[in-house]
Each structure stands twice: as structure tokens, then as C-alpha cells.
Amino acid sequence: MITCYSHNNDGHAAIQLFKEMRQMSFKPDNFTYTSVLAALALIADRERHCHQLHCVVVKSGTGLVTSVVNALISVYVKCAFSPLASSSSLMASARKLFDVMPEKDELSWTTIITGYVKNEDLDSAKEVFDGMDEKLVVAWNAMISGYVQKGLVFKVFEMFRSMHSLGIKHDDFTYTNVLSACADAGLFLHGKQVHAYILRTEAKPAWAFMVSVNNALITLYWKCGELEQARSIFDSISIKDLISWNAILSAYVSKGKIHEAKSIFDEMSEKNMLSWTVMISGLAQHGSGEEALKLFSKMKSNGLEPCDYAFSGAITSCAVLASLEQGRQLHGQLIRLGFDSSLSAGNALITMYARCGVLDAAYSVFLTMPCLDSVSWNAMIAALGQHGHGNQALQLYEEMLEERILPDRITFLTVLSACSHAGLVEQGKQHFNSMNEIYGISPGEDHYARLIDLLCRAGKLTEAENVIRNIPFEPGASIWEALLSGCRLHGNMDLGVEAAERLFEMTPQNDGSYILLANMFATAGRWDDVATVRKFMRGRGVKKEPGCSWLEVENKVHVFLVDDTVHPEVLAVYSYMAELVLRLRKLGYIPDTKYILHDMESEQKEYALSTHSEKLAVVYGLLKLPKGATIRIFKNLRICGDCHNAVKFMSKAEGREIIVRDVKRFHHFKDGECSCGNYW
């Protein structure tokens, strides 16, 4: 009965029956102890029971029986895996048992080696491994898997070659581990060599062998940028398992080929949690937030309980859509299901709250997370920077360094952006220089683009130009766009035209470059040049992306376009807008008509300004949201100078906090002021 309970994963029932057996004076035998120890490995509070049962085993005289000691070592090892356990003391107990065993079999050696490997004590694992007289393939595989997990690729290949030279035949676990090491390290040529070696040495492999190896090969090829080869291997597998499907699904999602990924997902006859999570996360990360949330709901309706990674994908979708209420609901579900301590979910929540304009909630999640990784720190630094808190972002960066977490490429992007938004020029330059000088990270195009943006916002266009001339590679479009934006802001026509010409060559279909140049000409009153730019756009078939703004009211997203005539309540919005503009004028608001790119009468320009999408969205929020409620507006383009000024006056006239997220950053308007300090 104890064995039956154990086999049915009912550890508590097995332990209870063992207690009753002893109370009734029945004497357990070796088989009983191995069964109850196997059951013990199934329960959560096994550490306490483990020590108690160890004493019982010793008193019974079975403490020298190999099978019983193996079972006891296995329980100690499994206890050590628990995040709440003291792994070092538990592994020490397991090792003590192992060392005094009069007879060790294959299971004894592999259990203790695997225990050390899973607890990341590779030195102890290697010590035990070296003490084996006859090293079986399972022990070699355990060591190789440990080196793979730690990213020690040279050790992986050292073990792989030693197996070959000693005549020990590699099995499918060996190959999958070695291929995994190549995939993670991006060692494409090494991986291809292993692939060729497999084809040479495995003449008639079993089906299970080839499926697992081919699955590893699929991952190797797509991670190394060879998606077509990965697909070719997938197509060559005659009978695919679920891992095969998930591998090729992950390949297409990771490469941003979402349409193809959806086709594969729909074709899968069987899906597990990983399949759903990969697809949901892929849709979210590539801008299809609404579709991702629908898929998340479908997964739940199919009877699958979401894991924390699935929640992370859904929460990321809310960040993409700026759907705060839905994000809050998911946060509540996450807590109810016990995933509130999940690292991936916590990181997603930080980004979601930050991108929905609730910085305090993002910071609260960050401060209450039980553990943090570099993604957590990067997300919070980015959030502070986007909301205009540059000094706080830099302070948090210093705290990250104090916690001995090394910055990565993403960290420096967030730090440079924070400096740029807050005008912290010298600090930004220092951090840029520290990338290579201190951390050995060569700045990429995106880092240089942030540096150019930092300099240009501060009006240091000559310095920015000098930086561009000395970049050790050909400057890309993002760098020239940053320079063009700076030239528009500070009216440097000659340099702006040069930057625009470069952009027209690199990204001829990007409407943003043409609009920036036209804006610069319009500000200077050069209407003939504005017309020339527009003609140039028409000749190339480039269409301006229409500005749109949206907000969430009672769990429904309302979208407004420039000069909107579609929204069902747009007439009420225009009516209130006319009344509001009159009040704003009394407070000192003067429409800034230089932001209209058409040469028309002054009154027409003022009316055109009043139809900008962000103004319409703010007015709708004033009409529909409860008095005193914060209005959160999201825009697909950068907010124009007149709208920025008008919303400041609106916040004062209406006594409201108004938060606007444009394509660049957040603006918090309150009492007639903006958090950006007009530095944007």
C-alpha cells in the first residue's frame, strides 16, 4: 500500500500509513524504507521528515543496505533543491552518507553527482566524478549538463572529447547537451561539426534518439540565425513530438515571424503550457497585444491554468495596449494563484504599470519583489527615465551596482535615455564612456543614438556632429534621426538637411524623416520648402502616419484621430473644446500656430490645432471620467509643442492631473506644470 500511494504521488498518505505500521509494531523491511523514502520526496515539508526517518533507518539496522541508503541520499538531494532549504548542509548530509557506504552502485554515484550539479557545486561534482573507477555514460552526461547550465562551453567540449578518446559511446542526452551548449553560446561552426559527427557515427539510430537530437538541432540552427535550416530539419522528422513543434514555434516567434508562428500553432494537434505561453508572449512582444489577450482567454477556456510565464505574456500585452484596468485584473489573478513572487511576472508588472502611467505602482512591485535580476533593475531604471525622473534613475543604477549586479547593454540604454530626458549631459557622457572603459561593452548604434539625442536636446549640435564623424562604424538611421530631431528643435537648417538626406537614402519609406524636415522648414516660415518636401513624399509614395490618441474609460479603449469625425461622441467633444479654449485663453494660453504645416489663415490654423488627437482625447476624459480622476492619454506620435502647452493650461483650469505618453516619454501635467520642465 505504501508503494501504491508513492506511485500515485500521494506522499502524505504513504507517510501516514508508515507511521500507523510502526505504531502497530509491524517491522518495516528494506523494501518498506525505500518505498517510504520515495514517498517522502513528494511532500513539501520533507526536510523535517527526512532527518526523522534517517534516525529511524539507523536504529533499524538497515542503514548499510545500498538500496535504502540510495533512497535516503536521493531525499536529501531533493530537499537541497528547495529554495527554502539550506542546500549546503543537506548536501553535506547526503555526502556523509555516500562516503560511508560499504558498497556503491551506479545509482549511488549518479545521485550524488546530480545533486551537486543541480545545486551548482560543480567542483564537488567533479571530485566525486573523478573518484569513480568506471565512469558510466549517465555520470558523464550529468557533468556535461552541469557545465552547460553554467555556460562553461570549453568544459563541455573537454568532457565530450574525453568520452570519445576513452571509447565511451555518446547517447542522445550527450548530444542534446552539447548542442544546447553550442546554441546558447552561438557557436554555430562547433554545432555544425557535432551535427556532422552524429551523421557519421550514428548509422541506424533509434527513433527516440533521433527525435531528441533533431529537436536540439532545430534550436541550434534557429538560435544561430539559420531559420531555414532549422525548418528543414523539422520537416525531415517523420514522427514529430511536442518538443519538435515547440522548438520550431519558438524559432519563428523569436525571429519575429509571427504570421508563420501562428500557422504552426494552429497546425499543432497537441499543445502544452509552453506552446500557449510562447505564442502569447510572441504576439505581445511584437505589438499584437489584443490578439495575445484573446489567446490567453482561449487557453483558460480550454481548461489550462496559466503559469507565471503565460501571465507575463498577458501582462506585457496590457503594457502594449496601455490597458491599465485589464493589467490590474491580471495582477489580482496572479496573486490569487500564488504567482506574486514570480520573477518574470514581477518584471512584466513593472513595465506594464510604468507604460500605463502609474509609476508608483511600478515602484511598489519592484520594492516588494523577493528577488531581482538585471531585467528587473533595467525595467525600473527605464520607467523612472521615461517619466522624467533622471536623477532617481541614476541613483537606482548606483544601487544596482552596489548589489553587485553588472550592467548590460540594455542597462546602458536605459541610463542614457534617462540622462537625455532629464538633460543630464555630463552624467550621460560619463556613463557612455564607462561602457567600454570599465565594463568592456562596445557601444552599438542604439547607444550612440542615445548619446546624440542627449547632446542634441541640450543644444550641443556641434559636439553631436563630431561624435558622429568619429563613430567606428557607419552611422545608421537611428543616429541621423536623433541629429535631425535636434536640428529641428534648435533650428540648425544646414545640418538638419544633411541628416534628412542621409535618412532619405537609408529609410526612404519612413514618413518620420520627411515630417521632421517639413516641421523644421515650417517653423522657419519656409513654406515653399515645406511644399517641396510634401511633393517629394508623394513622388516616393510615402504617406504620413495619422496621429491618433486613446484613453481607457470603464474598461473600454476610446481612440481619437486628428480632425476626428468617427467617434460617436465627437460632437460633444468639439463643443466642450470650444468652451474650454475660451477659458484657457483667459488663463494666458495662446495657440502656437507654427506647429501647423500648411500655409493658411491664422484662424484656420488655430482651429486645426484644436482638432489634434491628444486634445480631443483629453477633453473626452474630462467629460467621461469622474471629477478629480487622473486622465491617462496615449499617443502614437510625439506630442506637438502647442498641445503640450495647451494640456498644461487644461490641467490648471480643470484641477486635474493629466498624463500623456507619447512615442518618446511620459508627461505628467498638474497645476499648469509638466514633469518634463519643458525639456523634451
Q: How many CB atoms lie within 10 A of CB 482?
A: 25
Q: How many angstroms separate the CA atoms of 437 and 523, rounded?
A: 41
What is residue 660's predicted lDDT score, i.e. its pLDDT? 96
Q: How many angstroms separate the CA atoms of 337 and 308, rounded?
A: 9
All structural domains of the chain, each given as residue ranges with its CATH number in brackets, are 1-134 (1.25.40), 390-540 (1.25.40.10), 548-674 (no CATH)
Longest CA–CA separation in the chain, Å: 104
Which of helix, strand or coil describes residue 593?
A: helix
Query: How many CA atoms lie less than 13 Å away from 342 in the CB half-sphere?
Result: 21
Q: How many angstroms separate the CA atoms of 652 and 670, rounded?
A: 7
User: Which residue shows C-alpha cell 535615455?
Assistant: 417
Q: Which amino acid would we find at residue 229?
A: Q
Rg (CA), the chain: 31
Q: Which amino acid would we find at residue 623?
A: L
Q: How many angstroms separate the CA atoms of 172 and 614, rounded?
A: 59
Q: How many angstroms separate the CA atoms of 217 and 197, rounded?
A: 13
C-alpha cell at 519: 516641421
Q: Which residues of the chain have pLDDT under 50?
A: 5, 7, 12, 44
What is residue 519's predicted lDDT score, i.e. its pLDDT? 87
What is residue 525's predicted lDDT score, i.e. its pLDDT? 85
Q: How many angstroms separate the CA atoms of 578 and 404, rounded?
A: 56
Q: How many angstroms separate the CA atoms of 179 and 192, rounded?
A: 9
Q: How many angstroms separate the CA atoms of 550 and 617, rounded?
A: 6
Q: How many angstroms separate the CA atoms of 100 and 93, rounded?
A: 11
Residues 540, 543, 544: CA angle, nearest 5 degrees: 135
Q: What is the pLDDT of residues 280-315, one digit of tens each?
A: 999 999 989 999 999 999 999 999 999 999 999 999
557 class by beta-carbon count within 10 Å (0-12 exposed, 13-18 middle, 19+ buried): middle
**Do the Cβ atoms of 133 and 104 come closer than 8 Å?**
no
**Do the Cβ atoms of 36 and 18 come closer than 8 Å?**
yes
What is residue 627's predicted lDDT score, i.e. its pLDDT? 92
Cα→Cα distances 140→23, 129, 192, 208, 337, Å: 44, 8, 22, 20, 39
Q: How many angstroms separate the CA atoms of 464 and 485, rounded?
A: 12
Nearest to 582 by CA among 646, 658, 668, 655: 646
Helix axes 137-149, 172-185, angle to 10 degrees: 10
**Do the Cβ atoms of 380 and 396 come closer than 8 Å?**
yes
Which of helix, strand or coil describes residue 673?
A: strand
Q: How many angstroms separate the CA atoms of 59 and 75, rounded?
A: 18
Q: How many CB atoms lie within 10 A of CB 600?
A: 11
What is residue 678's predicted lDDT score, i.e. its pLDDT? 81
What is the torsional sign of CA 504, 505, 508, 511?
negative
Contacts of 368 (CB under 8 A, 6+ apart): none
Q: How many angstroms separate the CA atoms of 456 and 495, rounded?
A: 12
Q: How many angstroms separate the CA atoms of 258 and 245, rounded?
A: 15
C-alpha cell at 338: 500564488
What is residue 44's predicted lDDT score, i.e. its pLDDT? 47
C-alpha cell at 411: 542597462
Q: How many angstroms separate the CA atoms of 445 and 426, rounded?
A: 20
Which of helix, strand or coil describes residue 660?
A: strand
Nearest to 662 by CA among 386, 455, 418: 386
